[in-house]
Structure 1
Amino acid sequence: MWRDLLLVYGAYVLTAGSPGPSTMGIMGVAMRDGRRPAAAMAAGVVTTSFAWGLIAAMGLATLIVRYAQALVLLKIAGGAYLLWHAFKSAQSAMRSDTGSVPVAAGEARFASVRS
């Protein structure tokens, strides 16, 4: 049993370590907000990913499949969450912030050297 569990979790670790949408999200937060918010997002992604991998490896996903109503509610909640993010993204895209581009502290230091 432990060998099977180790095999499943090993496959999960390999797939979770490959770059994907969460990596792009972390990079976007890092470029927009800096290192500390990106590190917080990365910690959240890793924690949640670890939890889902553990749930799947332990077979608890079969309980969710057994109770179809809970799965439907989970899908609806996930869809609503994605729609909320789409709304916030569209709202951010519609905002015109072209006049105030923030300059990072390191760039400000080098800007005076270049001038």
Structure 2
Amino acid sequence: MNAMTAMRQYQTVNTQAQAVDASPHRLIQMLMDGGLTRIAQARGAMERGQVALKGELIGKAIGIIGGLREGLDLQKGGELAANLDSLYQYMATRLLQANVKNEIAPLEEVAGLLREVKTGWDAISQ
């Protein structure tokens, strides 16, 4: 087993352990962090011409955005939840476009939007 494989396994176990103990608020933070990480990794893969890896990472980012959408309570959340739902849908569409067109600009746009939402989420006290 090489060092990179061992490090990835450690990170996976560490992330899973954090998730077990995390509050719902922290779980959303972890999803947002994971989305931003996958987008950054996808950008790197795109810049290196690693097409398959880019597609895999963008797919993971879309899945994370989907998880954020599923976490919304559209019944109780009112206008804010509806707006976030639309924003997450837009982000997923832009990520798909980034993948299909092999363009960095949509990745940067989605990362910026997600960072903005995360800043607001992080400001919420528990």
- TM-score, with normalisation over the residues of structure 2? 0.33
**Max Rg structure:** 1
More contact order relative to length (CA 8 Å, sep ≥ 6)? 2
- TM-score, with normalisation over the residues of structure 1? 0.35
